[in-house]
A and B are shown apart, each in its own frame.
Chain A
Amino acid sequence: MAIAGFGEIAEHLRRLTVLIRPGRRGSGSGVIWSGDGTIVTNAHVAHDSNAHVQLWDGREFVGTVTARDPRRDLVSLRINASDLPAATPADSAQLRPGELAIAIGNPMGFLGALTTGVIHAIGPVRGLGSQIWVQASVRLAPGNSGGPLADAGGRVIGINTMVAGRLALAIPSNVVRHFLAV
């Protein structure tokens, strides 16, 4: 197949994906949202008031939780760093089913693992209330939580949060923007 580019996108995304260790046990992923040290992850990943954050280049920081929304399962952390490679968020209201979707994360101890698929649907999920999810046919595992879901241009369209059957459910990037703006 002549289509190149998954590797390039994966490399781009790995640089803005962090490994989060909230305590002695367990780990998850996070997304560098701004170059001056704002990290976004799931509330169920960073469940304490601070968490250990490791960048792709190996640097390690202690991140302090600056905002938390348990209902939407989002947390923002700050680390004391600057000039970081940050996510370019897409407008998740413009997403269409069938588009390519690319997830990067740290599932089960693997760092920067790539999975690909397509957007299955954008909307509520039966049994999970009226919240809108980006539903993608990408395979996630524990440790992907908090990591980025991106489009074919490498723009972040959501935060991978849970698995429902064969689907990955991600919090839409517009919801993350709103969460950070409040």
Chain B
Amino acid sequence: MSAELIEFSNALAQATERAAASAVAVHTEARGSTSGVIWRPGVIVTAEHALRRDEEIHVTLPDGRIAPATLAGRDPSTDLAVLRCAEVGVAPVEHGDAAETKVGSIALVVGRTRASGAVAALGVVSLVVPERRTWAGSVLVPYIRLDIGLQPTAVGGAVVDSLGRIVGVASPRFARFGAIAIPSAAVERVAETLLKKGRIPRGYLGVALQPVRLPDHLRQSLQHNEKTAAIILEVEADGPAHKAGIVIGDILISLAGQPVSRPENVQSHLQAENIGKALSAKIVRGGAVRDVTISVGDRPNGGG
């Protein structure tokens, strides 16, 4: 038989074994589990959407012990949840920079189940985009898609590159086919924030928006190129927009000097760094443009 193939197979098994030293099983119910990655001493990251409960979380460690873990926080926008577990020591496996990942390279997903121990899935990196905004509002830099059909038990497992380094956390979220690797830099950033604050701060304006078509005569009189904008359907009492004097029916055509042609355009101005900043906005009310200044608020939990 081919010696190369046997060598390749052994290399895969060894890479799996090494990465498995960082892989845990996460369980919140009597049966079943998902996977998580020991990210730093005392810290485990896992897939947010797959973590069913906030309390009574246990993990099966690489040595088979079962230990309790507490939730530090969730970030649905990147599909990451961070757990604290006193029983885990140093993260044994080297982390790689996901930005170096190349399309067509081999990727392993390594997780752990309660009953069977380490689990592995093999595939290739099928798409790398320098950055992509997800429907949940986060920007993944880079966006890495894998042609790996994840077993439910492997969700939240470690994505391992061809050099055996952990480059991210595996999730079927934000991928229509296969799975994505939530890149290591994003995991680092989210873990840091969740451990400190318990949540990811997001800016908010306190409005509900809907796309609206701008009539031609209005575009001509306003000398505005965009054919669409965002109309304000709701204004939260005492929210940032309310304080800026915005009322229902106003049409938002630009924010911070950039045109707003769809409600999604507003999202890119709401990153945590902008909280507290005053943004200039152009709105149309009664056929005339007005300039207003909105101070970006710190979104209360779950608010829009």
The answer for the CA separation of A99 and B32 in the assembled complex, in Å, is 24
- Chain B hits for A165, CB < 8 A: 151
Cβ 8 A contact of A97, one of B5, B13, B115: B13
Q: Are B118 and A121 in contact (CB-based, < 8 A)?
A: yes
B13–A137 CB distance below 8 A: no
Assuming the contacts A3-B8, A98-B122, A100-B8, asked whether A126 and B115 have C-beta atoms less than 8 A apart, the reply is yes
Number of residue pairs spanning A and B whose beta carbons lie under 8 angstroms apart: 98
Q: How far is the CA of A5 from the CA of B6 in the complex (A)?
A: 9
Task: For the complex, count residues of B whose C-beta is within 8 A of A.
Answer: 31
Tell which of B1, B4, B16, B31 touches A96, judged by Cβ atoms closer than 8 Å. B16
Pair A3/B121 contact, Cβ less than 8 Å = no
Complex Cα spacing A103 to B149, Å: 18
Q: Which residues does chain A contribute within 8 Å of B15, judged by CB atoms?
A: 98
Say which size band chain A's interface belongs to.
20 to 34
Contact of B17 among A98, A122, A153 (CB under 8 A): A98
Residues of B with C-beta under 8 A to A151: 9
Binds B, one of A6-14, A54-62, A68-76: A6-14
Give the residue name and chain of the A residue nearest to B8 (CB): A3
Pick the residue among B1, B16, B151 that contacts A166 (CB under 8 A): B151
- Asked if A123 and B120 sit within 8 Å, CB to CB, the answer is no
Q: A123-B117, A137-B122 are in contact. Are A100 and B5 (CB under 8 A)?
A: yes
A23 neighbours in B (Cβ, 8 Å): none
Q: Which of A27-35, A41-49, A112-120 contacts B (4 or more CB under 8 A)?
A: A112-120
- Please list the 10 inter-chain residue pairs (A to B) with the smallest Cβ-Cβ separation, ordered nearest first: A5-B2, A123-B116, A98-B16, A152-B9, A5-B5, A98-B120, A100-B9, A121-B116, A96-B13, A97-B120
